[in-house]
Amino acid sequence: MRAMTRADVDAVLAIEQTVQRFPWTRGNFADALDSGYLCRVDEAENGGIRGYAILMPAADEAELLNIGVGAAQQRKGLGRAILAEMLDEARARQLRRVFLEVRPSNAAAIALYRSAGFGETGVRRDYYRNEDGSEDAVTMACELSPLSHCGRGAGGDG
């Protein structure tokens, strides 16, 4: 994993537009870079971008704003590895907690977060727009004490 740069945005956007039902725009990625959020990409040996994640630190917490893995690379453990690295970076910055919102319809993401040790903390009503109007968000969080197993496979069997 390495820091995302402006030069990566085309490749990241290409994945985003393929895998997300409501993709971020180029401007969203540019704003995240300009704002100094933790923007990371996973690069294959041939230099192609396989996945990415964006974490927004705020005080002693951080919000995971986005995570995506290219369609051809999914279900190979990459999403879990990217998430674990983001949690390690948050730990290294002494952050206490990482939280996120996710669509209840996004079973893959919810399973990934649960397997990384996130627990559900609540529901935000009508948080997202969708084809029928709006959709609630499930909120999830992971407490990051130095000894916690968040992102280290505590929720799974690994």
Ligand X SMILES: CC(C)(COP(=O)(O)OP(=O)(O)OC[C@H]1O[C@@H](n2cnc3c(N)ncnc32)[C@H](O)[C@@H]1OP(=O)(O)O)[C@@H](O)C(=O)NCCC(=O)NCCS
Phi, psi at residue 83, to the nearest 5°? -60, -40
* Token reading at 56: 């927004």
Give the binding range for ligand X (CB under 6 A) out of 3-11, 109-117, 137-145, 146-154: 109-117
| Torsional sign, CA 142, 144, 145, 148 | positive
Give the binding range for ligand X (CB under 6 A) out of 31-39, 74-82, 91-99, 132-140: 74-82
Q: Is 113 a catalytic residue?
A: yes
User: Is residue 35 within 8 Å of residue 15, measured between CB atoms?
Assistant: no
Residue 15 vs 95, nearer CB to ligand X: 15
Identify the active-site residue in 101, 120, 127, 135: 101
Phi, psi at residue 30, to the nearest 5°? -60, -45
Q: Is 128 a catalytic residue?
A: no
Which residues contribute to the site for ligand X (CB under 6 A)? 19-20, 66-69, 74-80, 102, 106-109, 111-112, 115
